Amino acid sequence: MSRPRALDLAVAIGGTTIRLGSESPSAIPWIEETFSAWSVGDGSTTASRWTVDVSCDPGRLAALRTRRGEHGEPRLCFAHDTLLQRLPARADESGATVLADDERDAFLVVRPGRVDLCFDDARRRGRILVVWTLLEIAATEARAELLDLHASAVASDFGGLVLMGEKGAGKTTLLLHLAAAGSARLVSNDRVLLSATPGTGVTLLGLPAPLRIRPGTLAGLPPLPPWATALDRPYLHSLAESRAATTTSRPEPLAGPAEALLGLAQVVDWLGCGIATRAPLAALVFPELRPADTGFFLDPLAPADVECRLAAHRYGAALVGREPTLFESLHRGKEHASSDLEAPVARSVPGFAMRMGLDAHRDPGFAPRLLDSVGTGAMGAAPVRPSTKAAGSALDGAGADGISVIGRTQG
């Protein structure tokens, strides 16, 4: 009998190289699809700071289950943007910290430079721990040097575009329309990292996190594949598993529109777009949905305003003062993000406030016009506010200083 195929990847996330391995035949296709864009070589020959091994071995899982009763007080393991996740912990004989995730029937064995993940892959619930673990390691390693933002991002011909705003501002809608039009590649949704290096500008770094699509976001986009709403947690399925799924994954047919949480590989397959894991940053855009407006308008922002907005959109800003995560404790204690990372980014990259009507995406030329407008401003044109033509008139063209103004405003 031939030995099952093993996976051994070196993945670079946020500047940190992590060796990611598994011998689980069921989990390997999903792991490859989720992280292959970030792969930088063979894990056995590429230098890495951390090793993460994924096991679905029944014997190993059974041994960990037998000691579940020994787990004590929960330990902070993952720090999300507005949520802290703690898991019951114990120390094993080697000094490693063992964490039990009862909800996902999974265990993490954590020691400096190494994490062993073990879960039952029949329900696939443990797979998300692979994403969380790699993101937590990467963010911890990068925190003192990179700007960690709650934002979305795409990459176009002129460079990377970061989209920031409050919930409901239209970030994901804008991201998907730019990608669906073939005008840009996906970089990241919900979280991005920025690296400002003197002499080389600002670099945008993407993260392999799932993408949440709400019903209102789908207007004007291709229909979702049937499995996207038939499956429970579609982002935990590989493309082959998704296509083989049926509506029996849910106890009853959906009564109405439902949100879908998809992995980046599934979004790429759905929209026919590409992925970019990094790009030189060209512009920062702060969208805001304005129901009274038609089309979209770009207002240039002063660097001081951009700096304040960047600070407000730091990932985890609402959780300032929390205790260190386990990974931060292993990384020489919690290293707080530097407070002076926003200024060099704000001085180096143009920022725009974007007022966007609900119908903006209906224009077939919306995506290329937006990118052209932002690109013109990013390359040095002096942007202006919308034209002062008579109220209610349709505007379709370039403003006096080179920024396209499309639509009409009602205040």
Contact assessment for residue 283 and residue 378, using Cβ atoms and an 8 Å cutoff: yes
pLDDT of 290 higher than 60: yes
Nearest partner of 74 among 54, 93, 89, judged by Cα: 89
pLDDT of 402 higher than 50: no
Which pair of structure tokens corresponds to residue 306? 């951009």
Give strand ranges (E) for 120-251. Answer: 147-149, 152-156, 159-163, 185-188, 192-197, 201-205, 211-213
379 band by pLDDT with thresholds 50, 70 and 90:
low
Contact assessment for residue 392 and residue 376, using Cβ atoms and an 8 Å cutoff: no
Q: How far is CA 87 from CA 90, 99, 325, in A?
A: 10, 6, 11
User: In terms of DSSP bridges, do strands 278-289 and 159-163 run parallel, antiparallel, or are they unpaired?
Assistant: parallel
pLDDT in the model for residue 294: 83
Contact assessment for residue 232 and residue 259, using Cβ atoms and an 8 Å cutoff: no
Q: Summarize pLDDT for 243-261 with one digit per residue, the tens.
A: 987 544 444 433 345 678 9
User: In terms of DSSP bridges, do strands 152-156 and 97-101 run parallel, antiparallel, or are they unpaired?
Assistant: unpaired
Q: Summarize pLDDT for 132-147 with one digit per residue, the tens.
A: 999 999 999 888 789 9
pLDDT of 73 higher than 90: yes
- Residue whose pair of structure tokens reads 């509506």 in the numeric block: 247
Directed axis angle between helix 171-180 and helix 366-378, to 10°? 100
366 band by pLDDT with thresholds 50, 70 and 90:
confident
Q: Summarize pLDDT for 98-136 with one digit per residue, the tens.
A: 999 999 999 999 999 999 999 999 999 999 999 999 999
pLDDT of 215 higher than 80: no
411 band by pLDDT with thresholds 50, 70 and 90:
very low
Out of 13-17, 135-139, 242-246, 281-285, which region has the weakest mean confidence (pLDDT)? 242-246
pLDDT of 11 higher than 90: yes
